[in-house]
Structure 1
Amino acid sequence: MAITAPSIGTARCVWAAGATLGEGTCWSPRERALYWVDILEHRLHRFTPASGEQRSWTLPDTISAVAERTRGPGLAITLRRGFAFFDPADGTLQRLDEPEPERPGNRFNDGKCDAQGRFWGGTMDFAIREPSGALYRFDGPGHCMRALDAGFVVTNGPTWSLDGSTMFFNDTVNKSVRAYAFDPLAGTVGASREFLVFAKGDGYPDGMTTDADGRLWIAHWGAACVSCHDPVSGAELARVELPTDHITNVAFGGPDLKTLFITSARFELSAEKLAAQPLAGALFAVETDATGLPANRFDG
């Protein structure tokens, strides 16, 4: 099937949250709402499009990635040091595996579940200097493994090809989107290749998602946009322009999974840029003719 360019509307602000570091987008079909986070302010947010309701929770630590659970209540999340369960209904937080005690300068960043319900989370140097980041696979309490340890400064993603045979993962500081051979049954990561390198002026690859046609949608930190790419060639098919520089994550949601939700950040913007970009840190939405894939849930 030929991969075509999607039709994209104009992005609109749906929550002027002023997030320091918005991230962690996850559409909940059962709640018909979007979960997202402000990492540095330790905040979990939930936006319900039908009513416009905006709800927030403050956690005792950084929170960076979110997935719904299939059997237990609430959410699986990543905190600064590891994985946890959090139930928004009653505020219960259960800390679980913390897989890298020997790297105290790190924190968890982006993450997602694969189609088999395993939670993949990447770490990074909190100071954004040292190549100490890695990628972890969390199967449940007491079952966490280091899957990639390739000297990342900042990790983002992952997302997967439609057939599950490729995992895309971002080496953000090096502007590189990597494609890794992936065994969906074993949950193992193999050889990698460079899928895409961002050009000068295009910022850095941040969070990303895959749509039902296999296209990759990638947030650009520092370039005020989201780009859509052919999953084989990497060719850019379309671009969503945003009114602020630091675009951090994307997820499809809404009743038909055709609304692209986009997070942003105020972090590292100068006073002059913050004055010129009043919607920095906002949550945006744009209507498309693309259809997203339902977010995979954590199997637990």
Structure 2
Amino acid sequence: MPPQAHHPSDFTPSGDVRCIWPASAVLGEGGLWSVRQQRFFWVDILSRRIHRLDPATGAQDSWTFDEEVSALAERRDGAGLAIALRRGPALWDPDHPDEAPRYLCRPEPERTGNRFNDAKCDAVGRWWMGSMDFDCRAPTGALYRVAPDGSWTRVDEGFAVTNGPTWLRDGLTMLFNDTVRGQVLAYDSDPATGEIGNRRLWLQLGADDGVPDGMTTDAQGRVWICHWGGGCVSCHDPDTAQELGRVGLPVSQVTSCTFGGPDLSKLYITSARFSLDEAALAKEPLAGGLFAVDMDCQGRAAAPFGG
């Protein structure tokens, strides 16, 4: 049985966690460090916004869309971003914000109660995207592999809420979160073909730890997992899934984490205030903010979308 998360005490960041943008996002998510622009992008899914922060100047930009936007990726060839909209992947350029996003495909038009959620690119440039039930209840969500030409394959299904994925250091194992069940799943992954198989449980979060949301892998291969309802980001050994430590935050709904900065040593963390009542918000007024903490380790640059 894969281990459950626990609470070691010998792990600390090299700096303090700071709220660098108190945006009050309803559902902050989708953090992306743009190596090309040296800026940080993130989304507020339910407010249908993309945010951009220039850490060098403090400049903040935001754009509002006609539908939910949940994840972002740079493009390997071409300007702008690949973005996950409610019905699937699209292309959009923040330098030309008045031009409407162009859908690449809409993989599940028959699942009208679904929306797309988290998404990440593999090293080859394929975009792995999860869909979910808008009400977070029905197991109608699925995992898709989207090629740069917009062709897609449904590779697994039966999820109420999907998050991730990320890959272990050798690229031969993909992790993916079945959020409602509190599970991090592992699949054997073939980088050459994109085929996955041998689904298995990698980590089960404990009842007091919330549920797994976004995650990333650092340059040493360790896996960092956000805890929705758990108020932290935990760090795990890639071979055993053993928890090595955690970064605590002053908010409960921790949603995505991404390494950024010139040397990829700053951990950016998004959060949400979804469903929190007035009493809860009084206890965590920074809910929905963007946080950052300097780390004593480095991350890996996000893989771009495209061949």
Which letter does structure 2 place at the counterpart of 1:221? W
Give the match for residue 234 of structure 2.
227
Alignment check: 8 A CA contact 2:13 2:247 kept: no
Alignment-derived partner of residue 255 in structure 1: 262
Which of residues 97, 113, 116 in structure 1 aligns to 2:124?
Answer: 116
Who is 2:198 aligned against? Answer: 191
Q: Note if contact 2:11-2:246 (Cα within 8 Å) is conserved in structure 1.
A: no
Name 1:66's counterpart in structure 2: 72
Deviation by residue 1:174-228 (Cα, 9 ceiling, x = unmatched) = 0000111001100011111211110111000000000000000000000111000
Matched residues in 2 for 1:6 and 1:217: separation? 14
Q: Distance in 2 between matches of 1:80 and 1:285?
A: 28
8 Å CA contact retained: 1:6, 1:237:
no
- The offset of 1:290, in angstroms, is 1.1
Q: CA deviation at 1:257?
A: 0.2
C-alpha distance in structure 1 between counterparts of 2:207 and 2:101, whole Å: 42
Q: Equivalent of 2:59, from 28, 31, 53?
A: 53
Alpha-carbon deviation of 1:141? 3.8
- C-alpha contact 1:73 1:87 (8 A) present in aligned 2: yes
Larger fraction in strand: 1
**In 2, Cα distance between the equivalents of 1:6 and 1:242?**
12
User: Alpha carbons of 1:178 and 1:8: their partners in 2 closer, same or farther (altered >3 Å)?
Assistant: farther
Counterpart amino acid of 2:35?
P
| Secondary structure at 2:123 match in 1 | coil
1:144 aligns to what? Answer: 152
Match of 2:244 in 1: 237
Structure 1 SS opposite 2:95: coil
Please state whether the residue corresponding to 1:174 is helix, strand or coil: coil
For residue 180 of structure 1, the aligned residue among 187, 193, 197 is 187
Residue 275 of structure 2: aligned partner: 268
Find the residue that maps to 2:147 and give its secondary structure: strand
Structure 1 residue ranges, 4+ long, deviating more than 3 angstroms after superposition:
4-8
Separation in structure 1 between the aligned mates of residue 298 and residue 290 of structure 2, nearest angstrom: 20
- Please give the secondary structure, in 2, of the residue aligned with 1:140: coil
Task: Indicate the residue corresponding to 1:95 in structure 2.
Answer: 103
Specify the alignment match of 1:159 in structure 2: 166
Normalising by the residue count of structure 2, what TM-score does the alignment of the two structures yield?
A: 0.94
Amino acid at match of 1:173: V
- TM-aligned CA deviation for residue 5 of structure 1: 5.7
Aligned partners of 1:8 and 1:130: how far apart in 2? 41
Return the alpha-carbon distance in structure 2 between the equivalents of residues 194 and 6 of structure 1. Answer: 28
Secondary structure of the 2:275 match is: coil
Which residue number corresponds to residue 36 of structure 1? 42
- Structure 1 counterpart SS, 2:32: strand
In 2, Cα distance between equivalents of 1:163 and 1:195: 16
The corresponding residue for 2:27 is: 21
Indicate the SS of the match to 1:45.
strand
1:251-292 CA distance string (max 9 Å, x none): 000011000000000102121001111100000000101110
Match of 1:294 in 2: 301
Secondary structure of the structure 1 residue equivalent to 2:46 = coil
- Mapped to 2, the partners of 1:98 and 1:155 lie a distance apart of 17
Cα displacement (A) at 1:70 = 1.1
| Superposition RMSD in Å | 1.2
**Cα distance 1:6–1:229, how it changes in 2: closer, same or farther (>3 A)?**
farther
Q: Which of 137-146 and 264-273 deviates more?
A: 137-146
Give the aligned residue type for 1:161: L
The residue type equivalent to 1:72 in the other structure is G
Amino acid corresponding to residue 83 of structure 2 in structure 1: I
1:105 is aligned, of 113, 119, 122, to 113
Q: In 2, are the aligned partners of 1:169 and 1:177 still within 8 Å (CA)?
A: yes
CA distance in 2, matches of 1:224, 1:54: 25
